[in-house]
Amino acid sequence: MKMEQFEGVSLLGRISYAIMCAENYLITIHPDRDWRPLFKLLWSICDEGTFWDEWASEVLEVLPEYLFEFPTFEQSDFDHLDETTYNTMKSLLKDHDAGTDALLEGIRDMEEAYAYTEIDGIGKESLRILEDIIEVLEKAEVQLPDPKEVAFSSFEECNGRGDSFDFHFLSTVL
């Protein structure tokens, strides 16, 4: 895939595309699971009033690397997960693979690459991360979303970050 087509897309649009990739991947490898709790969290970055740093902290806690660090909720030290959400996410991600890990980490990393700073140029780091995400789907032979679906979110909006928008038309899970 040619990454140039994302150069005019905002960071929020790029993150949205990455979330769409994760949806396609996870519903392809585990079609029988109800992925709504995970994607409700991921898509919340698009909501008006969402503080991206708080979103990143919440997403961090559902990354398998952290989610499975402790055998029980009582032994964990999560700031955002309650016990019900913890158990739900552990059940959803119980047999995660390297592709799942790379997708979820990449989505968070795209936001973190520009946390508390300006986006330099066209945001090359987010494009590099997005390219890695796309490669996960290509290697697994999972259908990629159409990049045109996020083209409306312009890099000219909000200093490259993009304006909030209703994401529901992009999601196949919610």
Q: Is the pLDDT of residue 3 over 90?
A: yes
Q: Is the pLDDT of residue 1 over 90?
A: no
In a domain? residue 174:
no
In a domain? residue 169:
no
pLDDT tens per residue across span 66-102: 999 999 999 999 999 999 999 999 999 999 999 999 9
Instruction: Find all residues with CB under 8 Å of 72, minimum gap 6, and list them.
Output: none
In a domain? residue 168:
no
The rounded percent of the chain whose pLDDT value lies above 70 is 100
Map tokens 């490259």 to a residue: 160
Query: Residue 100 burial (CB < 10 Å; 0-12/13-18/19+)?
Result: buried
Q: Is the pLDDT of residue 25 over 90?
A: yes
In a domain? residue 44:
yes
pLDDT tens per residue across span 97-126: 999 999 999 999 999 999 999 999 999 999
In a domain? residue 131:
yes
| Global pTM value | 0.97
Give the structural domain span for 155. 3-160
Report the mean per-residue pLDDT for the chain.
Answer: 97
Please compute, for residue 129, the number of CA atoms within 13 A of its CA located in the half-sphere on the CB side: 24
In a domain? residue 111:
yes
In a domain? residue 13:
yes
In a domain? residue 63:
yes
Domain count, the chain: 1
